[in-house]
Structure 1
Amino acid sequence: MKQLALLSLIVSCLMLSSPVSAETKDELTAEQKYEKRMELYQKAEALTSIPWHYLAAVDTFERGLRRTLKNRPREEGVISIFYTEEEWAGPLNPDPADTNPLSIQLFGGVGLDGDGDGLAERTNDEDVLYTLAHFLERYGFAEQDFRIALWEKYQREQSVNIIDGHSKVYKHFETLDLDDHAFPMPIRSTYSYRNTWGDKRGWGGRRIHEGTDIFAGYNVPIRATAYGRVEILGWNKYGGWRIGIRDLDNIYHYFAHLSGFEKGVEVGSIVSPGDVIGYCGSSGYGKPGTQGKFPPHLHYGMYRDNGYTEWSFDPYPYLKAWERQDYRKLKRG
């Protein structure tokens, strides 16, 4: 009976799946894109037994890379996983655009036929996703097997950690629709801020201010701004009591100078926009426990990862957008 159910699922996926061109993709709503991606992830899971949230995590990480790396072309479908021509067709293949699965295999390429049309196409969502799932399948199905496979693919611990975190977030919420954001303080609270990104800072050596300061009273709740996973929690001599959360755009959100943390929040915690994670304070600029060297405020920073390095960027426009969004929600009740 189980084999019959599995066969039925695969047949259903084959009947429902259809290639998505760049033009068609642009016409899809966000909800339709989520549905299409989930359909493809679940089909690949049925064929290989690789959990869908593993596939979604890699695809999401690579979608972030497509947005930041100039040498990555825009994806043609709804799947963003990228292979170079050399990887796909094989380093010694005289035809870098080869789509024949047999000759690709002969020349050491990774490309596989995932939709059963006899072609292994580097721009076909199903072929690309099946190729990735087949690669992961070789290492096993446990979480540690997944991390080993990711290391073999990316050769970078930070990339492994980011993708593993994405996987845990998707598994926790069981959906792809996780794009909402929230302002880091309750809209009803009293606070003030301006764009302070790039200002000079002197304590601990000359450096620039990599964030926006939001001034408020002691113990005003500090909230997660996105869906994500807590990467870091504890003391930093510059930021005092601080929390770092990685979202599904590969962006690291940095909350510093807290007076303390919300009970139950720890490294590995999965958070939603608006979840209270700590409280406004004036900690930092010294040894653990140092307080009061400046007025209470939240230092909020954002850092983007491109698969090779990480850098800060101005969070002010995002804060203004999330603030307006929360005001609209408040007015709607």
Structure 2
Amino acid sequence: MVRKIFLPLCLAIVCFYIFPTYVNAKETKENVYQERMNLYKSYETPFVPWYRLAAVDQYERNIQEVRKDIPKRESIIAIQFSPEFWVGELNPNEEDTSPFSIGYFGGKGLDGNGDGKADRNHDQDILYTMATYLSEFGPSEEDFKTALWEYYKDEKIINQIITIQILYKHFNSIELDKHIFPLPVRGYNYSYKGTWGASRGWGGRRIHEGTDIFAGYGTPVLSTSYGVVEVMGWNQFGGWRVGIRDNHNTYHYYAHLAYFNKDLKVGDIVEPGTILGAVGSSGYGKEGTSGKFPPHLHYGMYKFNGRTEWAFDPYPHLLQWEKQTKKGQK
């Protein structure tokens, strides 16, 4: 009798404490997105729309999450300026907040909230300074790229920021974190396991940089994320493959396809569930080679950290996305 009462009571207590925590965490994340968006909208200009500010900010946030040599800015806005940029290279005071002396030494830091200080640790001052800097180059897409080049001096960084800008502008939102499993979780048979790092011999000794999801020929292959199609075509290793870059500095690689979605092309915007093509067994040879291995989707993920792009194991993400996708389809 005591056990019958005790177990339900324990479950009730657990639910009481855990469920509100989950809800509060979700609400907090949504509040951060809203606060961030409000700031972007407050400092956009006719030359610098909000999604350009948001793209630069998101890129900075992305690299801070994976780079140990860059301090992570614990605030709503992630953009960080160097002392030289903010106060001027010849300014003896790296912590200078006086707009007058900053301007005297050729610094770019500005007062964005009207408190008389140009503080590079203040979100409003940071966004106002970035908006002003970008606006100096003009309103066009090419002007924006020129501004990014002058600031970052790296084409790969520019490409990543432009991708983020495209997505934010198209969806009119910065809440683009949803992911799904790359194959339909119902109506088709499939299997997979963690094969990251396994040896591969064709084309020279190398390791397996992804997860193989085995399924029948023609099983639809779906985009796991929001993104922009960066690559489509033949690769001697991956056969017919599609490469998609998302707003988190991640490149998603879908290989060994039987064929592509005929309506898809490089530069297209995709979202979770967009059909990219179908499972096949293409690859390991000249264009059109097929049948050298059982049909499967090779799914890979690569992270760009502002310097290099490196592969990481997608298996834990696939397990999570599979559960989420199944739960969402109940």
The answer to whether the Cα contact below 8 Å between 1:212 and 1:299 also exists between their aligned partners in 2 is: yes
Cα displacement (A) at 1:86: 2.5
How has the CA–CA distance of structure 1 residues 285 and 27 changed in structure 2, closer, same or farther, with 3 Å as cutoff?
A: closer
Q: Which amino acid aligns with 2:198?
A: D
Equivalent residue for 2:138? 140
Q: 1:130-209 to 2 correspondence within 5 Å?
A: 130-188=128-186, 189-209=188-208
Equivalent residue for 1:123? 121
* 1:29 counterpart SS class: helix
Structure-2 separation of matches of 1:119 and 1:298:
55
* 1:78 counterpart SS class: coil
Equivalent residue for 2:267? 268
Q: Which amino acid aligns with 2:62?
A: G
The answer to whether the Cα contact below 8 Å between 1:233 and 1:244 also exists between their aligned partners in 2 is: yes
How does the TM-score come out when normalised to structure 1?
Answer: 0.89
Structure-2 separation of matches of 1:191 and 1:28:
35
Q: Which amino acid aligns with 2:286?
A: K
Structure-2 separation of matches of 1:28 and 1:131:
30
Could you list the per-position Cα deviations for residues 15-45 of structure 1 after superposition, in whole angstroms to 9, with x for gaps in the alignment?
xxxxxxxxxxx99712111111111111111
Q: Is residue 123 of structure 2 the alignment partner of residue 99 of structure 1?
A: no
Could you list the per-position Cα deviations for residues 106-149 of structure 1 after superposition, in whole angstroms to 9, with x for gaps in the alignment?
22222111111111111111111111111110111111111111
Q: Which amino acid aligns with 1:241?
A: W
Gaps of 5+ in 2: 1-24
* 2:54 counterpart SS class: helix
Structure-1 separation of matches of 2:146 and 2:63:
20
Q: Which amino acid aligns with 2:164?
A: H
1:73 to 71, 76, 94: 71
Equivalent residue for 1:111? 109
Q: Percent identity?
A: 55
Cα displacement (A) at 1:275: 1.2
Structure-1 separation of matches of 2:107 and 2:122:
16
Structure-2 separation of matches of 1:267 and 1:247:
14
Structure 1: 4+ residue segments shifted above 4 A = none
The alignment yields a C-alpha RMSD, in angstroms, of 1.4
How does the TM-score come out when normalised to structure 2?
Answer: 0.90
Structure number with bigger Rg: 2
The answer to whether the Cα contact below 8 Å between 2:47 and 2:138 also exists between their aligned partners in 1 is: no
* 1:253 counterpart SS class: strand
Q: Which amino acid aligns with 2:238?
A: G
The answer to whether the Cα contact below 8 Å between 1:77 and 1:123 also exists between their aligned partners in 2 is: no
* 1:57 counterpart SS class: helix
Structure-2 separation of matches of 1:110 and 1:310:
31
Structure-2 separation of matches of 1:156 and 1:281:
36
